[in-house]
Each structure stands twice: as structure tokens, then as C-alpha cells.
Amino acid sequence: MSKPISPTTPEGLQAFADAWNRHDADALMSFMSDDCVFEASAGPDVCGSRYAGREAVRAAFAEVWATFADAHWGDARHFVSGDQGVSEWTFTGTRADGTRVEVHGCDLFTFKDGKIALKNSYRKNRPPLGSPNR
């Protein structure tokens, strides 16, 4: 039996990014702690939108793919120091109305017991590319 990949290394964060690009919620959640928190880059609160607990985090992850069916995070770079990690990436995706998004962003991670306890996402606020289909 192979040992699960820990997200607490740059290679582990790349495996987490690969799961995002496969749109694989099960794989993503295998990296998250039982008391995980996801702070999305957009939302009404100072932190964006905050989702706490495995069910809420999983639903929020799935909502990203529902909004951007072709969501992709490319050109990733990962850094880890102690119980903190950073992933930088370029996000591309197309909304249902045909507008495209292409922005740089990053995730700040806090690790606990070999899992991601907090995924705090940030991305540039750039206008969508192209005009919506009418």
C-alpha cells in the first residue's frame, strides 16, 4: 500500500494543484484536515467567503468548477516553510456566459498534522476577457 502524499512539501502542493486541474474533489479532500477552512478570494467578508468544515469546503471547491467548467491553474510554483506553504499560479477559466478569466493568484496554506488546515486564496482583480454571449 502506498503512503498518502503529504501537502507539506512542494511536491505535495503540486499533487494538490494537479487534483484541482483534474476537478477531483475526493483527491482534494484527502489533503484537507477534518477541521479545514477555505477562504475564497471573492465574497462579502473581509476574508472573501469563509467555508469551515469538510462538507462546506468540498461544496465550495465544487462551486468553482460549476462556475468555470474549464478551470485550470497553470505555471504553479510552491514554497513550504514549517507549518506554512504558498502556491502561486495563473488561473484560467470560462464562465457560462462565455467571458474568460485569466489572472495570477496564490494560495496561502497553514498545515496541521500533515494536512491543510487553512487554504486562503487570493487572485488579481482583472476584468473578464471577451464579452458575454448574447
CATH at residue 45: 3.10.450.50
Q: What is the grid cell recorded at 26?
A: 475526493
Within a domain: residue 45?
A: yes
The domain of 45 spans: 10-123
Within a domain: residue 5?
A: no
Within a domain: residue 2?
A: no
Within a domain: residue 132?
A: no
Within a domain: residue 3?
A: no
- pLDDT at residue 6, rounded to an integer: 80
DSSP state of 132: -
Q: Read off the pLDDT band of 44 (50, 70, 90).
A: confident
Within a domain: residue 131?
A: no
Within a domain: residue 16?
A: yes
Distance CA 112, CA 79 (A): 16
Total count of domains within the chain: 1
Within a domain: residue 130?
A: no
Closest CA to 92 of 20, 44, 33: 20
Alpha helices in the chain (DSSP H): 10-22, 25-30, 54-67
Average pLDDT over residues 105-113: 97
> Looking at the DSSP assignment, which residues form a beta bridge with residue 118?
37, 110
